[in-house]
Structure 1
Amino acid sequence: MRIFKFGGASVKDANGLKNLVKVLEQVGYQDTFLVISAMGKTTNAMEGVVNAYFQDKTLLAAALQDVLDYHLQVLKELFEAPDHPIYKDVQSLVEEAKGFLAWNKSPKYNFVYDQVVSYGELLSTTIVSAYLNEVGIRNSWLDIRNFIKTDNNYRDVDIQWEKTQERVSQGLEKGKLYVSQGFIGSDENNFTTTLGREGSDYTAAILAYCLNAHSVTIWKDVPGVLNADPRYFEESQLLNKISYREAIELAFYGASVIHPKTLQPLQRKENPLYVKSFLHPKDHGTMVGKGEGIDPKIPCFIVKKNQVLMKLSSLDFAFIVEDNISDLFKLLHDYKMKVDMIQNSAISFSVCVDNKFGRLEELLDHLKGKFKVVYHEGVSLYTIRHFDAQSIDSLQNGKEVLLEQRGKETVQIVVK
């Protein structure tokens, strides 16, 4: 079986779904599993619903109606019959989300987030499945929550691999075309969980691992894996081939094309991963698999924006040693700070973190009791793999460099 993952950009509107059909017609769809993300910016819209629920319930009805209207517009352009059953199906899903918010008693944001935001994927896959059937591409819609089982650490779950393997092995038939959701799973109580932003790639990798899949293809609006994000860097180049190790390094540092968790299960089973353009499906794209390094071997640029750089120094000029560092990492873990870069000297410790869960102020209050703390918000962390002097100069030009760290193959620079 092949696993195809289509992201939100590929199914953002009616034309996107029509193009998805063209892709399947060109590359085939027998014995294929489609993993589909929420349409366009629906995940952001569903986050807006959650925020309205917690912050201002007078905005809740309008936020849900916006989600419904967006999907209804897509339906009008895809289905000629105004009484097609898909309209009722989509309406029912939105009503289901509304019903959950009406009876929910949990005050926990992350729990509510997972229950509500997941409807983006349920809506998109319901529409994609119905449209494929409408144009003669027979498929089976699956609720992926019945297959991918996780713990209940909402918004940041771990996969329960044995249970997931068992359900996937028993529940799927060869030779069919399946349509299902990325990004979501369920815990032991069958509450919905999410795998993290961009988690649909991870879903595809989980399925590939459990099915011993032939390959995974991630369909993007770019020709493949580029050496730099064209939104931030000029003259980006296509990488024809990347080894698992190199791809894991790039993902670890924040390359946006491949989700950081996606590559480990693929590497364990040696499932090849292709990143290809849904606009030019016959083009080769990028292959990630066994081998060494990258082809061509050129500098690869990665940027993480809106980071926080903290410099901690001891109040009494004492050394910052193992005990201090252990305590610091425990605090960073407790306050859910993703560490992207560290550097320490005898009496100072610098760390660049992603304040993903908005708990910076709490952490700073805790740290200021033990350390002198200097911090900068809104900084950018640049990483260059396979750097050379020219690539470093191009980044530093005109920027205030706050921190720099070099290794054999990688340089990281924090700039303001």
Structure 2
Amino acid sequence: MKVFKFGGASVKDAAGVRNVANLLQTVGYENTCIIVSAIGKTTNALEDVVKRYFENEDFEKTIYDVKEHHIVLAEELFENPVDVSNEISQFFDDILSFLRRNKSPHYSYVYDQIVCCGELISTKIISMYLNSINLKNDWLDVRDYIKTDNTYREGKVDWKLTEENIKELPTKGLYITQGFLGSDPNFFTTTLGREGSDYSAAIFAYCLNADSMTIWKDVPGVLNADPRYFDNAELLNHISYEEAIELAYYGASVIHPKTLQPLQRKEIPFFVKSFLNPKEAGTEVSKGQPLEPKVPCFILKRDQHLIRLSSKDFSFITEDKLSGIFNKLYDYQINVNLMQSSAISLSLCLEDKYNNLEKFAQDISVDFGIQKENNVLLYTIRHFEDQSDNVIPKDKELLRQTVKETLQIVVKG
């Protein structure tokens, strides 16, 4: 089996869906499992539905708008769109029905039950379209295969049960299923974290002992820098698993951090290619491949927060105090992207995905003095050279740290 993954940008409109079909006919689709994200910005819109629901605002108009967008897509793809339009309408009727009867105050639980519909709808449309042009395939509900615990929005995969489920699939045929989703022991929907569709593809590749996995993007492969923020970005032809994991850890947006680990365990070759130019080589990630070309790699993480904790009594920040700080960071689901310590202070560059930083700061202020700089930028340069940091505004620099070949700089936003 091969595993392909298509993100929302590749299927954002009718032309994109047709391009996926053309791509499959160009590169081959026999014995392939395809993982697909929600169409375009659907996930963002459904997130807004959940937010409005909990704030007692009108959410039905947003649902209607998303539904209409998908129905228009179906009308552009199908000569007779009645069947697929009915499927689409059923998904959105289910969303409304769930929200009207829901009694749970748990935001993350409700989030997963609503946001999942984006992937379910997109894959249903694509599966039906491919069947309509004689690319015969089977649509799978990924929640029957990827099993997790009940950590909503960050489901932890039950690898044993997931592998047992996926191994039941015949190794011949074309399958279409969803990224990002799983289900807990009670069959409630869970999600694997934002951008988790890449991870879903890696899970299937691992469990199917796939020959390869390919992520199809709107870029030619893995670049040494995001061209939105850096000039003269270069294509990386080859990367080792280890280097790719380092890049993902520091925030390279083209690869999801959790994606690489299952692939590395079974040494499954992993490609990042352009869905616009599918015959181009793209980037290969595999065992022992050197970084080629060997150039500095630039990563920018936005929406970061820099805090400096200092002992109120001027005592050393010892291991027991560090343990207490990091336990609280874990409890508040705050990620640490850089840490620098001295005898009586600790500087942390943090990512606050769940808006818990103020609660953390209030909690920790009992024992520590706090200085805080919100909305900073974190630059990371792998394999930096003497002039590599020229792209970073020196007058805004707040903190700098070098570890071997990696330079990290925090600057004001």
Q: Distance in 2 between matches of 1:299 and 1:144?
A: 38
1:54 and 2:54 aligned: yes
Q: Secondary structure at the match of 1:276?
A: strand
Paired position in structure 1 for 2:144 = 146
How far is 1:396 from its partner?
3.5
Q: Cα offset for 1:393?
A: 2.3
The CA deviation at 1:369 is 1.1
Code of the residue aligned with 2:114 in structure 1: it is V
Structure 2 length-normalised TM: 0.99
SS at match of 1:294: coil
Note the C-alpha offset of 1:56.
2.5
Letter in 2 for 1:402: L
Q: CA deviation at 1:98?
A: 1.1
Query: What secondary structure sits across from 2:256 in the alignment?
Result: coil
C-alpha distance in 2 between matches for 1:96 and 1:134: 26
Q: Say which SS state the counterpart of residue 242 (structure 1) adopts.
A: strand
Aligned to 2:399: 403
Q: Partners in 2 of 1:396 and 1:414 — Cα distance? A: 10
Q: Which residue of 1 aligns with 2:108?
A: 110
- Matched with 1:336 is 333
Contact 2:74 2:81 in 1 (8 A): no
Q: State how far apart, in whole Å, the 1-side matches of 2:315 and 2:227 are.
A: 45
The more displaced of 178-187 and 318-327 is 318-327
Deviations 1:239-270 (A, max 9, x none): 00000000000000000000000000000000
Aligned to 2:12: 12
1:161-176 residue pairs with structure 2 within 5 A? Answer: 161-170=159-168, 172-176=169-173
Pairwise CA distance, 1:33: 0.4
Amino acid at match of 1:63: T
1:82, distance to aligned residue in structure 2 (A): 4.4
> 1:162 aligns to what SS in structure 2?
helix
Which residue is equivalent to 1:415?
411
Aligned with residue 196 of structure 2, among 195, 199, 205: 199
- How far is the alpha carbon of 1:187 from its aligned partner? 0.3
Deviations 1:314-337 (A, max 9, x none): 111111111111111001111110
Against the structure 1 CA distance between its residues 11 and 350, is the aligned structure 2 distance closer, same or farther, given a 3 Å change threshold?
A: same
- In the alignment, which of 209, 215, 218 is matched to residue 218 of structure 1? 215
Q: Which amino acid aligns with 1:153?
A: T
2:277 aligned with 1:280: yes
Q: Distance in 1 between matches of 2:290 and 2:104?
A: 48
- 2:154 equivalent to 1:135: no
Cα displacement (A) at 1:392? 1.3
Distance 1:22 1:391 in 2: 41
Q: Distance in 2 between the 1:309 and 1:73 partners? A: 45
Aligned counterpart, 1:209: 206
**2:292 alignment partner in structure 1:** 295
SS of aligned partner of 2:373: strand
Query: Aligned residue for 2:63?
Result: 64
Q: Could you tell me whether the CA contact under 8 Å between 2:213 and 2:269 is conserved in 1?
A: yes
Q: Deviations over 1:124-169 (max 9, x none)?
A: 0000001001111000000000000000010111100000010011
* Distance of 2:113 and 2:334 partners within structure 1: 23
| Structure 1: tracts of 5 or more residues without a match | none
1:79 is matched with which residue? 78
Alignment of 1:18-33 (within 5 A): 18-33=18-33
CA distance in structure 1 between the partners assigned to 2:171 and 2:258 by the alignment: 26
Per-residue CA distance 1:325-370 (angstroms, 9 max, x = gap): 1111001111110110100000100001101000111111111111
> Equivalents in 2 of 1:143, 1:81: separation in Å?
24
C-alpha separation in 2, matches of 1:220 and 1:183: 17
Distance 2:306 2:176 in 1: 42
Number of residue equivalences: 412
5 Å matches for 1:297-336? 297-336=294-333
CA offsets 1:159-213 (integer angstroms, 9 cap, x no match): 000000100111x112200000000000000000000011000000000110100
What's the counterpart of residue 42 of structure 1? 42
Instruction: Tell me the distance in 1 between the aligned counterparts of 2:73 and 2:229.
Output: 31
1:229 matched to 2:226? The reply is: yes
Residue 250 (str. 1) matches residue 247 (str. 2): yes
Cα displacement (A) at 1:72: 0.9
Alignment partner, residue 262 of structure 1 = 259
Q: What is the alpha-carbon distance in structure 2 between the residues aligned to residue 185 and residue 231 of structure 1?
A: 32
TM-score, with normalisation over the residues of structure 1?
A: 0.98
CA root-mean-square deviation: 0.8
> Does 1:346 pair with 2:343?
yes
SS in 2 for 1:309: strand
The whole-number CA distance in structure 1 between the counterparts of 2:306 and 2:239 is 31
Q: What is the SS of the residue equivalent to 1:152?
A: coil
Distance (Å, rounded) in 2 between the aligned partners of 1:203 and 1:232: 28
SS at match of 2:59: helix
Rounded Cα–Cα distance in structure 1 between residues aligned with 2:167 and 2:398 = 51
